[in-house]
Amino acid sequence: MAEINVTPFVDVMLVLLIIFMVTAPLLTAGVPLDLPDSRANALPTEQQQVTVSMTGDGMLFIDESAVAYDEFPAALAAMQRGPDGEPPIVTLRADKALDYGRVMGVMGELNRAGFNSISLVTNAAGSPGPATTTNGSEAGEAVSGGSAGEP
């Protein structure tokens, strides 16, 4: 009885494994949103970051975890601070169909929780479709929002 030669199969599987290991860190999974456009330059990211996303239907996410609006302050209080005790930089991604008041309400909660460095994410000028990234490398672009308490 003839044996099946598994060496080519193992070779192909190892190549696929290497491809996935190399490409997986490059993918930025996120909540798909339709972001507003901006011509501002992207901000550098040296400090720990947390992404807060608001979908067009009002759902709220911290990174990729869904959070109810009434549980948002408790979730912010439970967030870990950096090694120097500084809160992480918050990147706020909000669908452009949302009411301005809802976005300001979330920014107010962030400010009350001590997160004073908030960046707003927009589409880079001329980029098509909804953005799914939170850095300036593709369609998403972080724009400095300053302190949440500033006008």
Q: How far apart are CA 116 and CA 76, in angstroms?
A: 12
Q: How far apart are CA 72 and CA 76, in angstroms?
A: 6
Q: How far apart are CA 142 and CA 109, in angstroms?
A: 20
User: Per residue in 65-88, pLDDT tens?
Assistant: 899 888 988 888 888 776 677 778
Q: How confident is the model at residue 149 (pLDDT cuts 50, 70, 90)?
A: very low
Strand 49-54 to 60-62 pairing: antiparallel
The residue type at 28:
T
Tokens of 113: 């929780």
Are the C-beta atoms of residues 76 and 109 closer than 8 Å to each other? Answer: yes
The residue type at 126:
G
| pLDDT over 80 at 148, yes or no | no
User: Per residue in 16-26, pLDDT tens?
Assistant: 999 998 888 77
Quote the pLDDT of residue 30.
67
Q: Which residue in the block uniquely carries the two structure tokens 């067009």? A: 56
Ordered domains of the chain (ranges, CATH): 26-144 (3.30.420.270)
Three-state DSSP at 53 gives strand
* pTM (two decimals): 0.56
What mean pLDDT value characterizes the chain?
A: 76
The arithmetic mean of pLDDT across residues 17-37, rounded, is 78
Three-state DSSP at 8 gives helix
- DSSP assignment letter at 11: H
In degrees, rounded to 5, the angle at the alpha carbon of residue 98 between the alpha carbons of residues 75 and 94 is 50
Percent of the chain residues topping a pLDDT of 90: 11
User: Per residue in 78-136, pLDDT tens?
Assistant: 887 766 777 788 888 888 888 888 889 999 999 898 888 888 887 776 655 554 434 33
